[in-house]
A and B are shown apart, each in its own frame.
Chain A
Amino acid sequence: MMDFMKSDLTRRVFIGSAAAGALAAHPAHALTSGEARTLIDRVVGDINGVINSGKSQSAMFRDFEQIFQRYADVPTISRSALGPPARSASKSQLKQFSDAFTSYLARKYGRRFREFVGSKIRVTGARKVKSFQEVQAVADLRGQPPFAITFMVSDRSGSDRFFDLLIEGISLLKSERAEIGTMLDRRRGDIDALIADLAKAG
């Protein structure tokens, strides 16, 4: 009887540690639509707060920058925008580029979201697309047809973050990859010149 209990206990301990081992190998469990939606609910709540705060433009840009830093996968977006040259860039260049790029995004997309002043963005649904979650939202604009806004969410960076934002089907990631790629080409691949000019752009 004791032996049986002992072996049962051992078996349970064994199964338990095996499960723990499996979890450790895949620390990021599959992100659910519910979790992605929770994240975007917070993002949208913050954006609504900013666009209808009546703050000055520069104060709004600072708020948008915080939103990007808090909820977006900035390192991954930066690396993708930079493209293949990211591989040869130094760590400090990557960091400088990422910082300049984030405030550039905040200014550029802050201006676009400011056009939604007086409206409210609301999350309408979420679904799994391949290994990502796609969260749909709508901005009901004053005097204009509503705008569809889509957030692409992943937890593969280690935390739940959005890595792309699409307004009426136009992808931030895609357009910034094109934009940064062209900027880099015209500066003959000089990342430092790109970083300096990015501070003035947007």
Chain B
Amino acid sequence: MLLLTLKIRGPAIVAGVLLLAACSVPDTPTDVHDPYEPVNRVTHDVNTAIDTVALRPASQVYGHVVPQPVRTRFDNASRNLGLPAAMVNKILQGQLEEAGENGFRFLINSTIGLFGLFDPAQDFGLHENEVGFGDTLAVWGTSEGAYVVLPVFGPSTERDTAGLIVDIATNPIGTLFGSDAEDAQIGLTVTETLNYRFAFSETFDSILYDSEDSYEQLRLFYLDNRRFNLGQNTDNATSDLYEDLYDGLYEE
């Protein structure tokens, strides 16, 4: 089934790989590498406008109209539908135990958990290992590439953009469960995004509307958070900053 998907969606994957091959490599791997800044800034402004007129107001309505337990159920179902792909990625990364955890989570939550609306697998100690192909590329040693801002999707890197294209092209839900399931997944991705924007509205508002340079702040947030989630946050830039902090201040 997966092979079939790969065959049909081959061209998109080729596009992803080509993009990857074109990845621009920074001088030092941990600095902010942003050669497309002028274009990125324009896209950032467009995305911020989309947030102002659509995402932010819609998330406020969603958050205030739909009760918290219901929103959480939808989030659960959305994450559940991401598990088959996450399982495949964990296999590709050679982390079979976590792949198995994702697989069993999917089986338990899709059945006992009523299409993933509930999360009984958590009670069995099965944790979610949320990963996409961008993570797999990172595990394989692909460099991060330049910082890019995608329309609607927002901050990314060249590596994560390639991953995103492959994730969308190889999404197994439609192939496994039919187009209704695929439609449901798209709808649930929207509600999950709205709920996330609502739950962290103070932080989003603070970055997008209150900071002196929202582009710069969002870039810093995205890159540091991404590296942290990939376990690559032991960069020298931060520890050098820490070392410099006290040097010369208290030791005359």
Chain A residues in contact with chain B, CB under 8 A?
Answer: 76, 79-80, 108, 111-112, 114-115, 129-132, 141-145, 148, 152, 154, 156-158, 163-164, 166, 168-171, 173-175, 177-179, 182-183, 186, 201-202
A175 touches B225 (CB 8 A): no
**Cα-based distance from A80 to B199 in the complex (angstroms):** 31
Given the interface pairs A76-B245, A173-B241, the reply to whether A179 lies near B217 with Cβ below 8 Å is yes
Residues of chain B lying within 8 A (CB to CB) of residue A201: 210
Q: What 5 pairs across the A-B complex have the smallest Cβ distances? A: A169-B228, A143-B72, A111-B202, A156-B246, A182-B212
A177: nearest chain-B partner, CB-CB: B241
Contacts of A148 in B (CB 8 A): 228
B contact residues around A130 at 8 Å (CB): 239, 242-243
CA distance A16 to B195 in the complex (A): 64
Chain A-chain B contacts (Cβ-Cβ < 8 Å), number: 97
Partner of B238 from the list A108, A142, A171 (CB cut-off 8 Å) is A171
CA distance A166 to B202 in the complex (A): 17
Pair B212/A170 contact, Cβ less than 8 Å: no
Chain B residues with a Cβ under 8 A of chain A: 68, 71-72, 75, 128, 130, 195-196, 199-203, 206, 210-213, 216-217, 220-221, 224-225, 227-229, 233, 238-239, 241-243, 245-246, 249-250
Q: A76-B249, A201-B210 are known contacts; what are 4 more A-B pairs with Cβ within 8 Å?
A: A131-B243, A144-B196, A173-B241, A177-B241
- Which A-chain residue is minimally distant from B202 (CB atoms)? A111
- Are B227 and A169 neighbours in the complex by a CB distance under 8 Å? yes
Shortest distance in angstroms between A32's beta carbon and chain B's nearest beta carbon? 18
Chain B CB within 10 Å, residue with most, of A112, A148, A175, A177: A175
Contact of A143 among B68, B241, B243 (CB under 8 A): B68
Query: Which B residues are in CB contact (< 8 Å) with A141?
Result: 199
Closest Cβ of chain B: how far from A115's Cβ, in Å? 6
Q: How far is the CA of A69 from the CA of B2 in the complex (A)?
A: 57
A115-B203, A130-B239, A169-B227 known; A175+B71 contact, CB < 8 A: no
Once bound together, how far apart are the Cα atoms of A154 and B241, in whole Å? 14
Q: State the Cβ distance, B71 to closest chain A Cβ, in Å.
A: 7
Within the complex, the shortest CB–CB distance from B121 to chain A, in Å, comes to: 14
Known: A168-B225, A174-B220, A178-B220. A186 touches B246 (CB 8 A): no
